[in-house]
Amino acid sequence: MAATKPPLHDRPERLGLGARLTHGMRDYGLLLRRHRVILFVTMALCLLAALLYILLSTPDYRATASVEVQDVPAGAAGSGAPTPSRTDDIETLMQTQLEVLRSRALAQEVARSLSLVGTPAFFQGMGVSRPKLAAGGQSQRQADEERTITLLRDHLEVDLPGKSRVIRIHFVSADPALSARIANGYADSLIRSDLKRGFQSGVQARRFLLGELDGARRDLERAERELAVYAARNGAPIPPGADMEGASSTNSPASPSGSEIDSRLAQLNSLRAQALAERIAAQKRWESARAASVETLPEVLGNGAMQELMAQRAQARAELVEERQFRKDAHPEMREARARLAALDDQAQQMANRIRASLRQDYDIARRGEKQIADEIADVEKDAQAARGRSVQMGMYERSVETYRMLHDSLLQRYRDMASQAGFQAGRIQPLDRAVAPDNPFSPKVGETMLFAALGGLALGLLLVGARHAFDDAVTSAETLAERVDLPLLGAVPVTGDNPQPSEVFAPIARSLLLASTGGLPRSILVTSAQEGEGKSLTLNALARALAALDKTVLVLDGDMRRPVQHALFRVAPGKGISEVLTGQANAADAVIATGVAGVSLLPCGAVPPNPTELLATPALDDLLASVRDRYDTILIDAPPILGLGDTPLLATRAQATLMVVEWGRNHHGGLRTAVDRLRRTGGVIIGAILTKQQGRAFDYDYHRGD
Query: What is d(CA 349, CA 356) in angstroms, rounded to the nearest whole number?
Result: 11
Query: What is d(CA 258, CA 502) in angstroms, rounded to the nearest whole number?
Result: 146
Query: What is d(CA 230, CA 214) in angstroms, rounded to the nearest whole number?
Result: 25
Q: Which of 146, 145, 170, 175 has the alpha carbon at shortest distance from 159?
A: 170
pLDDT digits (tens, 9 = 90+) for 648-695: 888 888 888 898 888 877 666 667 888 888 888 888 888 888 888 776
Mean pLDDT of 179-205: 82
Mean pLDDT (the chain) is 79
Are 101 and 190 spatial neighbours (Cβ–Cβ below 8 Å)?
yes
Mean pLDDT of 303-319: 77
Secondary structure class of 415 (helix, strand, coil):
helix
> 478-694 architecture in CATH?
3-Layer(aba) Sandwich (3.40)
CA distances in angstroms from 330 to 169, 323, 339, 343, listed in the order given? 155, 12, 12, 18
pLDDT of the residue at 498: 62
Q: Which residues pair with 167 in a beta bridge?
A: 67
Mean pLDDT of 631-638: 91
Q: Which residues contact 245 (CB under 8 A, 6 or more apart)?
A: 225, 228
CA distances in angstroms from 313 to 292, 307, 350, 414, 471, listed in the order given? 21, 10, 14, 105, 166
Enter the DSSP assignment of 294: G
Enter the DSSP assignment of 666: -
260-266: long-range contacts, CB 8 A cutoff, minimum separation 24: 261/380, 261/383, 261/384, 261/387, 262/384, 264/380, 265/377, 265/380, 265/381, 265/384
For 204-258, give the DSSP string.
Answer: HHHHHHHHHHHHHHHHHHHHHHHHHHHHHHTTPPPPTT---TTTTT--PPPPPPH
Q: Which of 646, 691, 700, 650 has the alpha carbon at shortest distance from 667?
A: 691
pLDDT digits (tens, 9 = 90+) for 62-97: 999 999 888 755 444 444 445 555 666 778 888 888
pLDDT digits (tens, 9 = 90+) for 107-163: 999 999 888 888 888 888 888 888 876 555 678 888 888 889 999 999 999 998 877
pLDDT of the residue at 3: 39
pLDDT digits (tens, 9 = 90+) for 612-621: 888 888 888 8
Residue 541 clears pLDDT 80, i.e. is over it? yes
Higher pLDDT, 36 or 235: 36
pLDDT of the residue at 208: 79
pLDDT of the residue at 499: 64
Is the Cα torsion angle 636, 637, 641, 643 positive or negative in sign? negative
Sheet strand arrangement including 554-558: 489-493, 686-692, 657-663, 524-529, 634-638, 554-558, 600-603, 593-594
The rounded Cα 131 to chain-centroid distance in angstroms is: 44
- The H-assigned helical ranges of 84-139 are 87-102, 104-114, 120-125
Are 585 and 576 spatial neighbours (Cβ–Cβ below 8 Å)?
yes
pLDDT of the residue at 534: 82
Q: Which residues contact 215 (CB under 8 A, 6 or more apart)?
A: none
Are 237 and 415 spatial neighbours (Cβ–Cβ below 8 Å)?
no
pLDDT of the residue at 86: 66
Q: Which residues contact 527 (CB under 8 A, 6 or more apart)?
A: 536, 539, 540, 543, 636, 637, 638, 639, 658, 659, 661
What is the model's pTM? 0.42
Is the Cα torsion angle 567, 572, 574, 576 positive or negative in sign? negative
Q: How confident is the model at residue 575 (pLDDT cuts 50, 70, 90)?
A: confident
Amino acid at 334: M
pLDDT of the residue at 426: 58
Q: How confident is the model at residue 197 (pLDDT cuts 50, 70, 90)?
A: confident
pLDDT digits (tens, 9 = 90+) for 164-184: 889 999 999 988 999 999 999
* Domain locations along the chain: 23-57+445-471, 259-388, 478-694
The rounded Cα 78 to chain-centroid distance in angstroms is: 39
Are 166 and 68 spatial neighbours (Cβ–Cβ below 8 Å)?
yes
Enter the DSSP assignment of 1: -
Query: What is d(CA 440, CA 355) in angstroms, rounded to the nearest whole number?
Result: 137
pLDDT digits (tens, 9 = 90+) for 347-369: 777 777 777 778 778 888 888 88
Whether the ω angle into residue 59 lies within 30 degrees of 0, i.e. cis, is no
Least confident residue range of 234-238, 454-458, 602-606? 234-238
pLDDT of the residue at 701: 38
